[in-house]
Amino acid sequence: MSSTSWPYYPVFMRLRGQRVLLVGGGEVAARKLRLLLRADARVHVVAAQLNEEVAELCASGAAVHAGVVFEPRQLTGCRLAVAATDDVALNRQVAETADAQGVPVNVVDDSTLSTFVTPSIVDRAPLLIAISTGGAAPVLARRLRERLEAMLPSAYGRLAAFMHSRREAVRSAAAHTARRAIWERFLDSPAAEQVLSGDEARAADELAAMARQRPAVGEVYLVGAGPGDPDLLTFKALRLMQQCDVVLYDRLVAPEILELVRRDARRLFVGKARSQHAVPQDEINAELVRLATDGQRVLRLKGGDPFIFGRGGEEIDRLMAHGIPFQVVPGITAASGCAAYAGIPLTHRDCAQSVVFVTGHARADGTLDLHWDQLARRGQTLVVYMGLNSLPQVCAKLIEHGLSADWPAAMIDDGTSPRQRVITGTLADLPQRVADARLKGPSLLIVGEVVRLRERLRWRGEPA
Ligand SMILES: C[S@@+](CC[C@H](N)C(=O)[O-])C[C@H]1O[C@@H](n2cnc3c(N)ncnc32)[C@H](O)[C@@H]1O
């Protein structure tokens, strides 16, 4: 099992009128019985003794007391089985028999015997939120549930029911491609609030008006995804990531961040290795215009900040020329993120009063056309983006233009991620140290006396 594979496949199952075998009649079984009855399952209870609640539910006809001793034939025709006794051997027998018959089985408090587990539930029926840690950390699941309970007004169920009741109306009024945008607009409008406060008639009128409106031109969200750690996303980035129809992303966007984009948004990968682009910039610009003209909400997701070595300016230039609405959301640039996570302040009263960001990306002929006189300065921190390959050249040039060979420098690889590595040294020896470390990139070079502060200010563990 890979570290990212799921221990269980999440699914909601229709149990209305379906037979479920519940072995056990105590308090735990009663809890399971209550949940199964919420889904209108036909529950057959097998137990020698029933507690008061289970006995009452059986007596009232809500459930069936089908026997006092478990027998394999009781599983015939069952959609699910639940073993909820305090007899370990009996629970195992139920699990093994059910599994042999192909009936999914849950053994209370024993995930090794269970082929399905019941998650923690936030109940705003018909809206249900299921939370599971696959048995790894039930307390964490419970904590999360408490937070969601506090966040979601109880009337959310009413909102979900209202939307269900209007689905047909919206379906017949608007084309398939426009429907999602209508629902999104509805949720962001006062009409949703009207439903929550009980004024469903007015909300229905407003929703009908929204469904009649012609689909407008879409919009482009040019969003900075930060250097890698998803926790460094801004609230606004996250909000737009969750409401886009399509996302164009490049290599620097960490998979963990892409996970947070709306699940059913179309994903277009447009960036490849350093110095090449899977899709040339001009085609990316044209694609943004085409998708937005088609009425879609297009997320252009970029590593770091879109306006720092991100070609964001070129993209919005094209959007402006075509009158496409857009928003730009800044992200934490690699310099800020990597420096912070490496314990290297970019400025410091004692040793660095300014900071300069430059690109170390060499021209096709291998030369680096930079203003070395301005870069090789004391009292200043120099941050070099895209400088992994040109590191020997950068260090040599800085020495040539006046910095001493023992001037401190650090290379930060895959900064802010759990895989972050920091190689420190001097202008003289850093190139060899970095070559020995076989860094994979993306890597960021920081040059200046601030690098020495890391010895004191390093606050985060890193892989060896
Ligand atoms: C094309 S530039 C994009 C910069 C981006 N717009 C930003 O604001 O961070 C790519 C370079 O950013 C730096 N970079 C981006 N993310 C990084 C990370 N997580 N760790 C180290 N360097 C990173 C590397 O120098 C990489 O070669």
Hey, is 23 helix, strand or coil? strand
Give me the number of domains the chain comprises. 4
Sign (positive/negative) of CA torsion 180, 185, 188, 191? negative
Q: Which helix (H) or strand (E) holds 97?
A: helix 88-100
When pLDDT is cut at 50, 70 and 90, the band that residue 214 belongs to is: low
For atom 7 of ligand 1, which residue has the closest CA? 304
| 272 assigned to active site | yes
What pLDDT, on the 0 to 100 scale, is given for residue 138?
Answer: 83
Q: Which of 32, 229, 245, 250 is catalytic?
A: 250
Together in a domain, 255 and 243: yes
Q: Which of 95, 118, 141 is the last residue of a domain?
A: 118
Question: Looking at the domain assignment, is residue 462 inside a domain?
Answer: no
Average pLDDT (315-343) is 96
Cα gap 338→366, rounded to integer Å: 26
Place of tokens 């850093």: 430
Tens of pLDDT, residue by residue over 13-44, are 999 999 999 999 999 999 999 999 999 999 99
Together in a domain, 62 and 101: yes
Q: What range defines the domain where residue 206 resides?
A: 156-212
What pLDDT, on the 0 to 100 scale, is given for residue 131?
Answer: 95
Tens of pLDDT, residue by residue over 127-155, are 999 999 887 888 899 899 999 998 888 88
User: Greater confidence, 422 or 463?
Assistant: 422
Percent of the chain with pLDDT over 70: 96
Together in a domain, 254 and 319: yes
Average pLDDT (281-291) is 94
Question: Looking at the domain assignment, is residue 137 inside a domain?
Answer: no
Number of H helices and E strands in the chain, helices first, is 17, 17
Question: Looking at the domain assignment, is residue 135 inside a domain?
Answer: no
Together in a domain, 356 and 372: yes
Together in a domain, 73 and 113: yes
Orientation angle between helical segments 430-437 and 391-400, nearest 10 degrees:
170
What pLDDT, on the 0 to 100 scale, is given for residue 215?
Answer: 61
Tens of pLDDT, residue by residue over 98-121, are 999 999 999 998 989 999 998 999
Distance from the CA of 386 to the center of ligand 1, in angstroms?
7
Look at residue 174 and tell me whether its pLDDT is greater than 80.
Answer: no
Tens of pLDDT, residue by residue over 397-451, are 999 999 999 999 999 999 999 999 999 999 999 999 999 999 999 999 999 999 9
What pLDDT, on the 0 to 100 scale, is given for residue 272?
Answer: 55
Q: State the CATH number of the domain containing residue 359.
A: 3.30.950.10
Together in a domain, 359 and 426: yes
Question: Looking at the domain assignment, is residue 149 inside a domain?
Answer: no
Using the atom order of ligand 1, give the atom closest to the CA of residue 254. 19
For atom 21 of ligand 1, which residue has the closest CA? 443
Together in a domain, 344 and 326: no
Average pLDDT (226-238) is 95
Average pLDDT (263-275) is 78
Tens of pLDDT, residue by residue over 357-375, are 999 998 888 889 899 999 9
Look at residue 64 and tell me whether its pLDDT is greater than 50.
Answer: yes
| 250 assigned to active site | yes
Hey, is 41 helix, strand or coil? coil
For atom 5 of ligand 1, which residue has the closest CA? 304
Average pLDDT (222-247) is 95
Hey, is 411 helix, strand or coil? strand
Q: Which of 96, 118, 140 is the last residue of a domain?
A: 118
- Mean of the per-residue pLDDT values for the chain? 93
Together in a domain, 398 and 426: yes
User: Could you check whether the bond before residue 345 is cis, i.e. omega within 30 degrees of 0?
Assistant: no
Average pLDDT (328-338) is 98
Distance from the CA of 385 to the center of ligand 1, in angstroms?
6
Cα gap 450→384, rounded to integer Å: 15
Together in a domain, 236 and 197: no
Look at residue 281 and tell me whether its pLDDT is greater than 70.
Answer: yes
What pLDDT, on the 0 to 100 scale, is given for residue 3?
Answer: 55
Question: Looking at the domain assignment, is residue 145 inside a domain?
Answer: no
Q: State the CATH number of the domain containing residue 258.
A: 3.40.1010.10
What φ, ψ does residue 51 adopt, rounded to 5°? -75, 175
Distance from the CA of 337 to the center of ligand 1, in angstroms?
10
Pocket of ligand 1 (CB under 6 A): 227-228, 252, 302-305, 308-310, 333-334, 338, 385-386, 412, 414-416, 442-444
Strands 120-124 and 127-131, by their bridges, are antiparallel
Together in a domain, 357 and 431: yes
Say which DSSP state 461 is in. -
Together in a domain, 239 and 200: no
Look at residue 189 and tell me whether its pLDDT is greater than 60.
Answer: yes
Question: Looking at the domain assignment, is residue 130 inside a domain?
Answer: no
What pLDDT, on the 0 to 100 scale, is given for residue 1?
Answer: 47
Using the atom order of ligand 1, give the atom closest to the CA of residue 302. 6
Distance from the CA of 293 to the center of ligand 1, in angstroms?
30
Tens of pLDDT, residue by residue over 39-55, are 999 999 999 999 999 99
Together in a domain, 23 and 62: yes
Q: Which of 212, 242, 277 is the last residue of a domain?
A: 212
Dihedral of the CA atoms 90, 93, 95, 96 (nearest 10)? 170
Q: Which of 40, 87, 205, 272 is catalytic?
A: 272
Question: Looking at the domain assignment, is residue 132 inside a domain?
Answer: no
Using the atom order of ligand 1, give the atom closest to the CA of residue 312. 6
Q: State the CATH number of the domain containing residue 28.
A: 3.40.50.720
Place of tokens 């720092």: 308
Question: Looking at the domain assignment, is residue 12 inside a domain?
Answer: no
Place of tokens 């001097």: 426
